[in-house]
Amino acid sequence: MPVCSSCGYQEEYNFCRMCGTPVKYQFNENQVLSFHQLKDRIITDNMRDLITVVDQHGHLIYNSPSHLSVLGYLPTEEGQSLNFSVIHPDDIDQIRHKLNQVFSLKVEMSAEYRLLKDDGSYIWVEGRGIPSVKDNQVTYVVITARDIQARKEAEEHLKQSEIRHRLILSHTHDLICVVGIDGCYEYASPSYQYTLGLLPCSLIGKDVLLHVHEDDHTKVATGIENMKLTKTASTFHYRNLHANGTSILLEGKGVPIVNDGKVEGFVFVSRDITEQRKLEEMMRNAEKLSAIGELAASIAHEIRNPLTTIKGFLQLFSEEYQSAQDIAYRRMMQSEIDQIEQIVNEFMSLAKQEVRPYEPIDLLALLKDVTKRFSQAFIHQGIKVVYEYNTAHGNFVIHGQPHQLKLVFIHVIQNAIDAMPLGGQITVSFNKINQQHVTIQIMDNGCGMDADRIKKIGQPFYTTKEHGVGLGLTICNKVILEHKGTLSVTSMLQEGTTIDVILPITHVEANSILMLKTPTS
């Protein structure tokens, strides 16, 4: 056995455990090691891995010096039974079971477990037991263990990071997906379910264009192809189809996944901007109405004064001594003046701001009062009016200005009558949304409108009527916006038109219903 040159301590390792002095191997005449044995021993003694050799009885044959540098001590002295107390209590049963399998099954086994350090802390190691078999018997087992503490800490950090990111993905309203190079979904965030009504798991493996509006297929496909070629991010707007068939406008940003210069897929983050676009459109309409209102006020003022004079003098002429032709001319002039006055009044309605306070209004009573005004027209043209509402919803009460809202519904009903010269049906429906808003839907089965006309509906001065000015729906939209509501138009050619008005509900006590103002003519 080699002897330390400094303290004389006999040491089987290549350094003295007493003083740390390097030790040269010295052999007596009874102990001769071959060169290869010596080389293998030197390599084993200097390995960073923890090496332990136990015989078939579980007694220690060898402990590598690396135990001292890694753990700060030698777990077991040679000849003694393997010391399981240095293993973390939660891992002991696993290691006993694995070691028994190595001996009984004569197979290599591996496991990850924790070892006690001299400072009382534990480190993770990855151990492997390799049996040495002779005459079908395990003579000894070599156990090698490698320090994997850094790897475990990195895995734990990665795990926590993944938990945080999944938590974010689970609660974000943005649509997040991973698309493979083949254009199929590999991941879809939970937000797909409550934004588009689509189960994320149902999308995996499906083409990313499956639920994109067919008119936007080319745009999205071109965007993906450009990202593949340029390896840069891209942003574009497109429409996705909800499970109920409606379209939702999305703003999407795609980022290519690049590995070793090759695009392997894409990450898309899309946001629903449908309401944002509606709000932007409402703001543009409000700005238009403001500008048109100022112009209308000045024009109406300049026209109204001379118009009043002309109308006054025209009324001075008596029909008593006029010829039939003069009377016809006079009546034609009066009709044209009335038409001009109606246009001026529409200009003034667009320009002026009502300053009267809002008051409770029963919308059902208001609509019935409006339709009563057209009773003769309904009879003349063979039009039937049907009301649909659920009495369980109670009263449809809002705060507003009765006169203004009445003008809105008069205009809508008049348009419905004009669209059904050969008769038909007008259906007026009431519904409540989350006890916060009331929807009034007025639907006719008249001639309807095509898509191009629908796009222009509500634009100032756009009209299809011979004597129309094109301000009717513009004024209606202005009034509804002032009441914090929305007005929308849908129509199908030769099938009819539907006007949807949504207004905020006013909650009133049951005993105050009698005090509601019921609009009168």
Q: Going from the N-terminus, what domains does the chain have, and what CATH number goes with each?
A: 47-146 (3.30.450.20), 172-272 (3.30.450.20), 277-351 (1.10.287), 359-515 (3.30.565.10)
Cβ atoms 59, 79 nearer than 8 A: yes
Strands (E), 216-349: 234-241, 247-259, 262-272
- String of DSSP letters for 428-488: EEEEEETTTEEEEEEEE-SS---HHHHHHTTSTT---STT--S-HHHHHHHHHHHTT-EEE
| Nearest by Cα to 44 from 34, 56, 36 | 36
| The 3-state secondary structure of 91-143, one letter per residue | CHHHHHHHHHHHHHHCCCEEEEEEEECCCCCEEEEEEEEEEEEECCEEEEEEE
Q: What is the pLDDT, as a whole number, of residue 9?
A: 43
Q: What is the pLDDT, as a whole number, of residue 283?
A: 74
pLDDT < 70: residue spans in the chain? 1-46, 168-171, 282, 285-286, 288-290, 292-293, 296-297, 300-301, 317-321, 343, 346-356, 456-472, 506-521
Cβ atoms 64, 52 nearer than 8 A: yes
Helix H or strand E encompassing 51: strand 50-55
CA–CA separation, 206 and 191 (whole Å):
17
Cβ atoms 316, 349 nearer than 8 A: no
| The 3-state secondary structure of 140-154, one letter per residue | EEEEEEEECHHHHHH
Helix H or strand E encompassing 210: none
CA–CA separation, 492 and 269 (whole Å):
35
- Cα–Cα distance list, 298 to 306, 326, 413 (Å): 14, 34, 30
pLDDT per residue over 363-421, tens digit each? Answer: 999 999 899 888 888 999 999 999 998 877 777 888 888 888 888 898 899 889 988 98
Q: Max Cα separation, the chain? A: 160
Pairing assessment for the beta strands 60-63 and 109-116 based on DSSP bridges: unpaired
Kindly report the length of the chain: 521
Helix H or strand E encompassing 63: strand 60-63
| Nearest by Cα to 181 from 243, 259, 123, 112 | 259
Q: What is the pLDDT, as a whole number, of residue 233?
A: 92
**Which one-letter amino acid corresponds to residue 505?**
I
- Cα–Cα distance list, 286 to 18, 281, 356 (Å): 91, 9, 20
Strands (E), 273-408: 359-362, 383-388, 397-400
pLDDT per residue over 92-120, tens digit each? Answer: 999 999 999 999 999 999 999 999 999 99
The side-by-side arrangement of strands in the sheet containing 496-504 is 383-388, 424-433, 437-444, 496-504, 486-492
Q: What is the pLDDT, as a whole number, of residue 45?
A: 60
Q: What is the pLDDT, as a whole number, of residue 321?
A: 64
pLDDT per residue over 475-513, tens digit each? Answer: 788 788 888 888 888 888 888 999 999 998 864 433 333
